[in-house]
Amino acid sequence: MNLLITADYRELSQAAGQLVAQALLHDPDAVLALPTGETPKGMYEALIRLYQEGLVDFSRATAFNLDEYLDIPPDHPQSFSAYMRRYLWDHVNLAKDKVHIPASLPEDPEAECIRYEELIRKSGGINLAVLGIGENGHIAFNEPGTLWETPTHVAVLSQETREREAQAFGRLEHVPTHAITMGIKTIMRARRVLLLASGEEKAGILARALSGPITIDVPASILQLHPNLTVVADRAAARGLAG
Ligand code: PGA
């Protein structure tokens, strides 16, 4: 594991943006898996800046989102496709036919999971998966208890996850109960994983994930077994890692 500890969120965002840009410079046809959430917003800003400066080109890249809520329309402001349009897609030269996200209103959610997993496979697999970590240890929407062998699947969102989103959706009852997410197996097959963690509220779970036992109670702990893991954490999130 490569561990990069930055002074603060700004530096974390720069470093993460540069690592993604490097991956694209090294392989312009790279297949990326991309996260949503608070943590990657600064990374996307950094990437947009690098793009505007002509330093990174997305035209040949493929991007898969890690996950999407079920049962809300794609133009719902809290959908992950709305998030991605706002923070990345509308600002860089990703080709429309190379940007993928699970459907939020599929006729048959199980079939949509199979389609998505198959699309990833047909693209040659993921070169770089960028992940955040939930305070409960989830990666994408692989909540505690998810079996390691799970491919892209319909996930039941945990109570903690839904409570965290209650404000964004106005009230808890409006937060979707299900999502489609890349599975642990999908993520572990990525050739390289970049895990981002910022803020003191992530310190405890990051320490458990990286130095505790590998257990389905902490889904991110499986990343200890990934052969090419880079962790970028700011000092606040990395506090529990020392000693
Ligand atoms: P956050 O979410 O970046 O909003 O903290 C991370 C996650 O839940 O994966």
**pLDDT tens-digit series, residues 158-168:** 999 999 999 99
Has residue 106 got a pLDDT over 90? yes
178 is an active site residue: no
138 is an active site residue: yes
71 is an active site residue: no
39 lines ligand 1 (CB under 6 A): yes
Q: In 3-state terms, what secondary structure has residue 136?
A: coil
37 lines ligand 1 (CB under 6 A): yes
Mean of pLDDT values over 120-146:
98
**pLDDT tens-digit series, residues 176-207:** 999 999 999 999 999 999 999 999 999 999 99
Closest CA to 32 of 104, 101, 114, 91: 101
CB atoms within 10 A of CB 54: 7
**pLDDT tens-digit series, residues 209-229:** 999 999 999 999 999 999 999
42 lines ligand 1 (CB under 6 A): no
pTM recorded for the entire structure: 0.98
| Mean pLDDT estimate for the chain | 97
Ligand 1 atom at minimal distance to the Cα of residue 196: 3
Q: Specify whether domain 29-36+60-224 bears CATH 3.40.50.1360.
A: yes
